[in-house]
């Protein structure tokens, strides 16, 4: 059992490096095959692709989880946690304030709220 753990511990950095190299290659190939024709940018080297990939991971996070993930995802999780911890009265008051401020909860494609459909219903 102990040997199996050491073997996995030894293979983990190798697997991480292989994934990093593979994803960097994918970034380079996608960049060089798509962006020069679409946005008229120059092609990049393998090492530049790795730098772009690492920079994106630093800026946008490493996936969902505690402390990870994109900033907008963490805000969404925090908001869901706050809503879960609110009492029913606080939740209703919060929803009413959102509706008053920005029309939250009301679909802009709600056909029942259109003036011409209200007139047709009353006739």
Spell out the alpha helix ranges (H) of the chain: 2-39, 46-60, 71-85, 88-102, 115-122
> Does residue 82 sit within a domain?
no
Q: Which two tokens stand for residue 77?
A: 């999780």
Cα 62 from Cα 68, distance rounded (Å): 6
The count of C-alpha atoms lying within 13 angstroms of the C-alpha of 58, restricted to the half-sphere facing its C-beta, is 6
Q: Are 53 and 27 in contact (CB under 8 A)?
A: yes
> Does residue 13 sit within a domain?
yes
> Does residue 102 sit within a domain?
no
Q: Are 65 and 74 in contact (CB under 8 A)?
A: no
* pLDDT tens readout for residues 35-85: 999 999 999 999 999 999 999 888 887 765 555 556 666 777 788 888 888
* pLDDT tens readout for residues 36-47: 999 999 999 999
Q: What is the pTM assigned to this prediction?
A: 0.50
Q: Which two tokens stand for residue 66?
A: 């505690």
The total of structural domains in the chain comes to: 1
> Does residue 91 sit within a domain?
no
> Does residue 15 sit within a domain?
yes
Which domain, by its residues, includes 19? Answer: 2-63
Q: Are 14 and 21 in contact (CB under 8 A)?
A: no
> Does residue 10 sit within a domain?
yes
């Amino acid at each position: 059992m102990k040997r199996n753990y050491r073997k996995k511990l030894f293979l983990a950095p190798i697997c991480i490096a292989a994934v990093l190299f593979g994803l960097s290659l994918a970034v380079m190939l996608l960049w060089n095959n798509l962006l020069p024709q679409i946005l008229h940018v120059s092609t990049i080297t393998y090492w530049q692709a790795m730098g772009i990939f690492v920079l994106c991971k630093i800026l946008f996070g490493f996936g969902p989880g505690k402390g990870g993930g994109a900033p907008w995802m963490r805000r969404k999780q925090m908001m869901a946690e706050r809503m879960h911890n609110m009492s029913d009265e606080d939740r209703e008051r919060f929803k009413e304030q959102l509706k008053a401020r920005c029309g939250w909860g009301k679909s802009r494609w709600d056909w029942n709220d259109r003036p011409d459909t209200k007139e047709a219903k009353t006739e």
